[in-house]
Amino acid sequence: MFRRSLALGAVGDPPSPPWRPPLWARPFASRLGCGGGQGFRQVVFSFTMFGDLFEEDDSSVSHNQYGKGKKLKTKAVEPPPPREFTNLSGIRNQGGTCYLNSLLQTLHFTPEFREALFSLGPEELGSLEDKDKPDAKVRIIPLELQRLFAQLLLLDQEAASTADLTDSFGWTSNEEEKSKPDVNLKDLQNEEEIDDPLMILKTILLQEESNLIPVDQLGQKLLKKIGISWNKKYRKQYGPLRKFLQLHSQTFLLSSDESTVRLLKNSSLQAEPDFQRNDQQIFKTLPSESPGFNGRTSCPHWFDINDSKVQPIKEKDIQQQFQGKESAYMLFYRKSQLQRPPEARGNPRYRVPHHLLSEMDATNIELQTKRAECDSTENNFELHLHLGPHYHFFNGALHPVGSQTESVWDLTFDKRKTLGDLRQSIFQLLEFWEGDMVLSVAKLLPAGLHVYQTLDGDSLTLSEIELADGEDIFVWNGVEVGGIQIPTGSDCEPLLLNVLHLATSSEGEKCQQLIEFPHVFPSNAEVGTVFTSLAIPGGVVLINNTESIGEKNWTTIPKVDLKKTFREQGLRNGSSILIRDSNHDNSLLTKQEKWITSMNEIDWLQVKNLCELESEEEQVRISATVNTVVFDIRIKAIQELKLMKELAENSCLRPIDRNGKLLCPVPDNYTLKEAGLKMGSSLGLCPGRAPTSSQLFLFFAVGSDVQPGTEMEIIVEETLSVRDCLKIMLEKSGLLGDAWHLRKMDWCYEAGEPLCDEDATLKELTICSGDTLLLIEGKLPPLGFLTVPIWWYQPQHPSGHWKSHQDRRNCTPSQGGIWRAISAQGAPGDAHAEVSLHYLGDIDISEDATLMELKSQAMTLPSFSEFVIPSPAFLRAWTVESKRPSRLLRADQQQLKEYKLGRRTEICLEPLQKEENLGPQDVLLRTQMRLPGERAYALPMDMVWDAVRGWTAGSLRQRVADFYSLPVEKIEIAKYFPEKFEWLPISSWNQQITKRKKKKKQDNLQGAPYHLKDGDTIGVKNLLAEDDDDFSTVTDDIGKEKQKQLALGKRKSQEALRVQSSHVFSGAETPARPRGPEASLSIHVGSFR
């Protein structure tokens, strides 16, 4: 039983580690000879340790493809990243190949073995070009191993691939299928792993080119692999697929518009137990071994090789990481007297065969070219330059004088360059330009082109200015266009409005004809200016800024409101204005209003034939008013469709929504107004009677994955009980058994709270016609009982006494196995701050039971037997929210119902070193001491703070100082916000001097901006060791940069959507309904601590 971490000693190192290995570890040592016969034995030993590795295997060669040609396969979309500052190459994990990677790195860093392998030529091994020839004797495995070692030495990439090497072993992706033909998921190692969606999604992405795939295709491939969709298999437990991908941001990277997903490079395929999580190899190299740190090899260095990642590591950190931990490791000894020849020092090309040198050089050139192309693609964006001399100001906006090709130029530019560079490039393009050049952001509106803000700051990059891809830039002198001074800014944005007024006859009198024409007004102009713009003496202004049909939406503007601007009146592009003379009498006014509504009101409904009977017409229009009875419309539709009269007794009308779904039938005795039907709506004439006033028409489906159009329908009495309704739905669905319950679909189209009281009627539970009920597998607990999922919460502490001694993969979790929360999202440190949640099982318990009884019952679960806990008092309970510990449950003798636990509450249990009895004012915090001189923290330690004297900063600082035995004036503390990757220093507000005479409000860390609660991370800095005010870590910098890139991508996508919506909106006949004014809302939430 070996840990995948390898501690390799270098030349001159002692043959044993400076710390004692665990008792259950099985280290082995191989001492290699040097010089003369010993050197020969060393080569033979290196070969024989592989068994029949170098034997011919003709049977496997013909069935596999091994590296066609000599060119290394590189990603077409995005080339692999170059080596980092260590100048060492890692090895990518194919999924479960971390042990192999460790062994390969070990052999690679053994120059005697590596160079002996390189010394074998075509005479001994053959050539890869001849592998497909029937009579050729080609030893594929050593040839691929030579290529891999050459890549590790010479290829400028972060990590090499072992795909060709493992293919030469005969390892194929369908091995599992061959051994287990009844399992759909071919790439997983056992059937239990199918329950882990993280494993399945990783497997799918690893098979895709560049590990990138659209999210929609990911769902389809998942269905193809396991034979069931995401919604049916996992949505109940993990939520929607995109939400699951977002919650596992340490593994998956969603694009800004959430349309594609990429597997992060350092993600491992297997869901491994704790003691196998760090797939690391620790190497110490000398100047003769490798040109690490970019060739600066003045002294030896230790390196931490974690699959693809290679980072320097200090010797004390190695001891701290492995000392006293249950970790197996393999020792590989090399004789200290072995000396490297002078020509090999700092020369990675030493003894590498000539053909491999040529291949690596050619591949490096290809990689450089592809990286340059990728860099150009990622950083170049397109700008649309609108040239001022080719525009004129007309009807409130800018319009091109000539053709579009003359007035608009497309320019591709590097967004990393400055605004000054952009201006200079445009100067060079426009040779005819004279005078000043001003660049302004513009936007195409329905009225024309409008200029917004001017771009300033020539030293700023285009990324810092936040220019979007496809941005419109207006190039002008900043003053006028065609001799006309143009308005700029969002305040005077032009609005394209539809103006209606009565036409004038040839005699100058108003006639009974309404004319309509478009007109542009500045959004900051007064509404009263409409008379001046249209040369109308005066009158009454009516506005219509909604898109509803069939209603009187015209509103008269009072005379006092004519001085308000068009924007203040809520007018937008496409809104309508009616101008009516003020001298018309009431009769004419009535006639005008009727006339106006007749232009917009639709007085018909459309009825489609859905009775599966042939008719001359598929659909007909039926004239109606809001007071028409549904029965009359149905009979008239049957007559006009020329259907059988028998349908009059056995048919109904059902509304059709915009997606084509048939809604609940409309009772015959309802009017259109009572049924909520608008004119112009579509109805379906369907067989079957509509429900009566005492009946309910319900949709129902099996499971929480409801695909459109798959719902079944049923009509039941509203006095029917939930139990009887469940039986009817099960019978209609063809399902057997009683282990089912009903849930009502909520407004998010997800399974809501269960209908617990099975004896209650549907009417009592406010079930209405048109609701959707879901048949969910699993029997509900009796009233007064809770079904609580229990999880095991194992944080890493300085001494983990309750660590499991079993392989957690042997457990069979029924709800998804292990959750992992990487430190980048939950803790400021590195891997030592990692948190795991391990599913144990469900327990049914009464709401009257105490917390202690819940812990005791959880200890009886079969999965709990792998942990050794003396008593329930050695367990700490948390609620689980968003797959993380959330609220601490204290007071073991308190009843569960007093905690106000919902039916969806899940609880995790954390092991303790000693019994704990937290009071109501005790606060449990995770404290971490800052390591001097490093941007990192020590392992977290639990600290209990008695806040009985108040949640003040001074009290907390004093408690932390006492906890670490430091003077209070020599520490600084800060709270960590993992969602922002930020530290907020906690200072004593009471010590601040204020000039106000009013009594200063006492600081409370429970409120803004700290919102301190149980489980929060507090960073501690010892000012005796360092006095800077920086609490951040390298992980925080990486997290912030990722958030910045995501925000930038989101901003670009939103800008693109706004530009697209403006074009769509310009072609719409009516504008969207305006939003009502926002109102403040205060909610008082009591404390449940």
Summarised one tens digit per residue, pLDDT across range 91-122 is: 998 887 888 888 898 899 889 899 999 999 98
Query: Residue 796 contacts by C-beta under 8 Å, 6 or more apart in sequence?
Result: 832, 833, 834, 835, 939, 940
User: What are the structure tokens assigned to 332, written together?
Assistant: 């590989």
Query: Residue 552: is its pLDDT beyond 80?
Result: no
- pLDDT, position 783: 77
What is the rounded distance in angstroms from the CA atom of residue 1074 to the CA atom of residue 36? Answer: 90
Among 283-292, 571-580, 689-698, 842-851, the minimum mean pLDDT is found in: 283-292
The residue behind tokens 């704790």 is 274
Percentage of the chain modeled with pLDDT above 90: 19
| Sign of the CA dihedral with 499 first, then 503, 509, and 510 last | negative
Q: Kindly report the backbone phi and psi dihedral angles of residue 986, in degrees, each rounded to the nearest multiple of 5, phi listed first.
A: -105, 110
Q: For the chain, what is the mean pLDDT?
A: 75
- pLDDT, position 700: 93
Query: Model confidence at 589, in pLDDT bands (50, 70, 90)?
Result: very low
Per-residue pLDDT tens over the stretch 241-293: 888 888 888 788 888 777 888 888 665 454 444 333 444 555 555 444 455 55
Residue 311 neighbours by CB distance under 10 Å: 14
Q: Cα dihedral angle (34, 40, 45, 51), rounded to 10 degrees?
A: 160
- pLDDT, position 824: 35
- pLDDT, position 18: 34
Query: Residue 753: is its pLDDT beyond 80?
Result: no
- pLDDT, position 1027: 81
Contact 758, 809 (CB under 8 A): no
Q: What is the CA radius of gyration of the chain?
A: 37
Residue 31 neighbours by CB distance under 10 Å: 11
Contact 468, 1056 (CB under 8 A): yes
Task: Name the residue among 435, 576, 444 with its Cα closest to residue 498.
Answer: 576
Query: Residue 153: is its pLDDT beyond 90?
Result: yes
Per-residue pLDDT tens over the stretch 53-97: 444 433 333 333 333 333 333 334 678 889 988 889 999 988 878
Contact 92, 157 (CB under 8 A): no
Per-residue pLDDT tens over the stretch 437-460: 899 999 999 989 999 999 988 888
| Sign of the CA dihedral with 403 first, then 407, 408, and 414 last | positive
- pLDDT, position 371: 86
- pLDDT, position 582: 62
Query: Model confidence at 583, in pLDDT bands (50, 70, 90)?
Result: low
User: What are the structure tokens assigned to 15, written together?
Assistant: 């043959």
- Summarize the confidence of residues 675-680 as an average pLDDT: 83
- pLDDT, position 358: 93
- Summarize the confidence of residues 202-227 as an average pLDDT: 83
Ranges of H-type helices in 323-408: 354-379, 404-407
- Summarize the confidence of residues 398-411 as an average pLDDT: 81
- Summarize the confidence of residues 1054-1067 as an average pLDDT: 55
Contact 905, 996 (CB under 8 A): no
**Residue 999, Cβ density class (10 Å: 0-12 exposed, 13-18 middle, ≥19 buried):** exposed
- pLDDT, position 719: 92
Measured CA distances, 302 to 87, 112, 298, 314, 932 (Å): 13, 20, 13, 6, 20
What is the rounded distance in angstroms from the CA atom of residue 302 to the CA atom of residue 284? Answer: 4
What is the rounded distance in angstroms from the CA atom of residue 698 to the CA atom of residue 720? Answer: 12
Task: Name the residue among 907, 814, 802, 902 with its Cα closest to residue 854.
Answer: 907
142: left (phi over 0), alpha (psi -120 to 50) or beta: alpha
- pLDDT, position 65: 34
Give the residues across from 310 on adjacent strands.
305
**Residues constituting the chain:** 1089
Measured CA distances, 56 to 43, 68, 129, 131, 363 (Å): 19, 19, 16, 11, 29
Q: Is the pTM of this model over 0.75?
A: no
Query: Residue 184: is its pLDDT beyond 60?
Result: no
- pLDDT, position 1080: 53
Query: Residue 392: is its pLDDT beyond 50?
Result: yes
- Summarize the confidence of residues 131-148 as an average pLDDT: 87
Per-residue pLDDT tens over the stretch 597-609: 444 445 788 898 8
Query: Residue 939: is its pLDDT beyond 50?
Result: yes
Query: Residue 464: is its pLDDT beyond 60?
Result: yes
Measured CA distances, 86 to 104, 157, 372 (Å): 19, 12, 22
Query: Model confidence at 514, in pLDDT bands (50, 70, 90)?
Result: low
Query: Residue 743: is its pLDDT beyond 90?
Result: no
What is the rounded distance in angstroms from the CA atom of residue 664 to the CA atom of residue 656? Answer: 9
The residue behind tokens 């190695």 is 318
Query: Model confidence at 706, in pLDDT bands (50, 70, 90)?
Result: confident
Query: Model confidence at 131, in pLDDT bands (50, 70, 90)?
Result: confident
What is the rounded distance in angstroms from the CA atom of residue 226 to the CA atom of residue 218? Answer: 12
Strand ranges (E), 735-848:
740-745, 751-754, 772-777, 785-793, 818-821, 835-846
